[in-house]
Structure 1
């Protein structure tokens, strides 16, 4: 690759002033011979260089470096060179010998180059330190397996990632990429949606083949293993979906996953779900956590939520919203009496049961019966206050106690009914 292009890519990373010089000094002191800019930093740098446009969701202040040597030791020497007062944040992960630091507002990840092996499909890999080429070989896609060696400014592309980049294609790095780590399917959907790239026919075939063989068999025990038995996989699935909903064009990504048959990694019922787009639209409008809204479309949402280790709050939302929906379905089968169309009826019904507003919102997104009443309660009625204050009632002769609260609520409900009647 032309030196000017490499220089342009390095300049686009936003390295803090003096950082590269200090990095070379630290590498020399530690006798580290190779440090490389890797992964998305190189991929996006090449794309920006070609299009001269800023990529959507591109974080300029997030740099990934791989070192043939100890990342922790290198960062220690680098910190001494730059001064501890310039390092504002530092986190270390001993198991993988990785360090994250923030230097003049720029986040930089340092990792020791390593190779990986998988004892079981979907389990966390076993790792050992290795050379840069082995580190590139453990990655997910060919477009993410390129590097720029900083000391020699050599461009490394052992798998032809630049050709896929030019063609706008996503190719898994090898034939067992998805089998080893099914979360790579979620990343494929993310990158496809964000970059406008297409997963190759070979990649789609690999996804479908892996999914069709799910659950897999552990040859050592002759037992089937699923993501329920692999907590590490379940955790990574949750994290990948959270990233998808946080940063990516999620509607395109979820459609890709369903087209590839990959939503069955979460739940088979969800793979067949035709309502996810409408449900997620309402969830977005009502400010709900979108992964929770997606899971709400399964036939056993609590089971899926527990497997993915969703928070207790999100599990409670799923439980309450499904209880509410079931009650509304039962009541919709009966003849609603005239009072059930009055706003105060719905206020009493919802407020006496103690459901959280977020649970009611989730039931709305799930297309619960009589949801227009739920929506009015959520957005208007529950916020209505009594036309008279407690102080006024006390001045009128009421005494403090439960009856005072009941009277305030009665006045509030009457006011809600009155306001709604005027709008009709």
Structure 2
């Protein structure tokens, strides 16, 4: 088996830099190569390569520049805690390649959902720690006359042919529940189905909830796989995948409960995210806004602070809206609605999120967002000063009065 479009001189340099240690191409590149042969899709090339070497990845990378063709350049950055080195190569012909070179490792989980304890291991150990059988296939480089040998110890090729996602062991989701989100991403992108054994594992694990934290508890002790790693999976899903299908599958599997039980029950998130897409809103905070407790979920996922602030403002807007009585707002016109809306925190960001999610005074919020917020008084502060009004709070109050009058005039036209 050959690797299309990967320069022979690059593969040769990598094998020489390994100095006899087993070196393999792994991950999506191998999976996609095999899918190409099954479906006869045109080969689109490899923008980057994921490689695993037995021993220290950094040692291989440090030897690599001297083995590349003259005129090539190499820059790299090590992530020591995971034994991984990011490499950017510019070959003499001008082509640029991105490499992720990892030390073969084995993992153990001291507690469900926590970060794994990592130690150096063999290539077999490294394949066994992966999420799905279709991602546990490797091309061993430099060991045969044609340059590569296929390693498939977990029968991933059979699952590729059947278009199914099979977890590698019985504790896969206990150790790392983000694997269920990854399954939804792959299923949506590749058109695969979750293997029945994986579906049963998901049902059993979600029902047992084996992690040392439950919805409603403070967010501080949340395991990483229920916090930051879930956010990273969501960001990938919403930014790069067919998110509607992926989230729909997650909901069908019961997996949205990992985020929030209310979000699992919610059937309006497709409408909210569809509006957010059309209006150019960030999708993740809009999805979080559909949860029962958006603020707690945002804190648990450690989303950016500005998004947490917007979600707090949305919760406050909903609370203030629920406190208004029909008699109180029955006679409100543009000026009154504008004053109420603009007293809400972060209104310019909160209002479009409220409109996307629905359920809060849609008509006045929409009119404020499209029209009223842009209305300004014809008279400026400089005009008022020139007319003899002294500087101070009276200037601002008079401008507010003039703006309210102009809003009234527009509504009466």
TM-score by length of 1: 0.86
What corresponds to 1:115 in structure 2?
106
CA distance in 1, matches of 2:267, 2:397: 44
What corresponds to 2:38 in structure 1?
50
What corresponds to 2:223 in structure 1?
231
Q: Any idea what the Cα deviations from partners look like across 1:45-90, whole Å, max 9, x if unmatched?
A: 22234334469xx994232011112101111111344499955753
Deviation at 1:269, TM superposition (A): 2.2
Residue 267 of structure 2 corresponds to residue 268 of structure 1:
no
CA distance in 2, matches of 1:203, 1:359: 39
Structure 2 gap segments, 5+ residues each? 91-95
Residue number among 287, 298, 305 corresponding to 1:305 in the alignment: 298
What corresponds to 1:155 in structure 2?
150
CA distance in 2, matches of 1:394, 1:17: 76
Q: Any idea what the Cα deviations from partners look like across 1:237-285, whole Å, max 9, x if unmatched?
A: 1111111111111111111111111111112222222222222223333
Residue number among 179, 183, 189 corresponding to 2:174 in the alignment: 179
CA distance in 1, matches of 2:311, 2:71: 46
What corresponds to 1:141 in structure 2?
132
Alignment of 1:23-102 (within 5 A): 23-27=14-18, 31-53=19-41, 60-82=46-68, 87=73, 89-102=75-88
What corresponds to 2:183 in structure 1?
188
Moved more, 315-324 or 227-236: 227-236
Moved more, 38-47 or 296-305: 296-305
1:88–1:282 distance in 2 versus 1, CA, 3 Å: farther
Residue 362 of structure 2 corresponds to residue 377 of structure 1:
no
TM-score by length of 2: 0.88
> What SS does the aligned partner of 1:11 have?
coil
CA distance in 2, matches of 1:146, 1:359: 46
CA distance in 2, matches of 1:21, 1:53: 27
What corresponds to 2:358 in structure 1?
367
Deviation at 1:397, TM superposition (A): 4.9
Contact 2:131 2:168 in 1 (8 A): yes
CA distance in 2, matches of 1:323, 1:37: 51
CA distance in 2, matches of 1:408, 1:225: 52
Residue number among 1, 5, 22 corresponding to 2:13 in the alignment: 22
1:320–1:230 distance in 2 versus 1, CA, 3 Å: closer
What corresponds to 2:308 in structure 1?
315
1:84–1:100 distance in 2 versus 1, CA, 3 Å: farther
CA distance in 2, matches of 1:193, 1:346: 43
CA distance in 2, matches of 1:59, 1:390: 61
Residue number among 157, 165, 169 corresponding to 2:160 in the alignment: 165
Contact 1:32 1:68 in 2 (8 A): no
> What SS does the aligned partner of 1:154 have?
strand
What corresponds to 1:288 in structure 2?
281
Contact 1:40 1:144 in 2 (8 A): yes
Residue number among 189, 200, 206 corresponding to 2:201 in the alignment: 206
Residue number among 337, 340, 356 corresponding to 2:347 in the alignment: 356
1:84–1:67 distance in 2 versus 1, CA, 3 Å: farther
Structure 1 gap segments, 5+ residues each? 1-5, 217-223
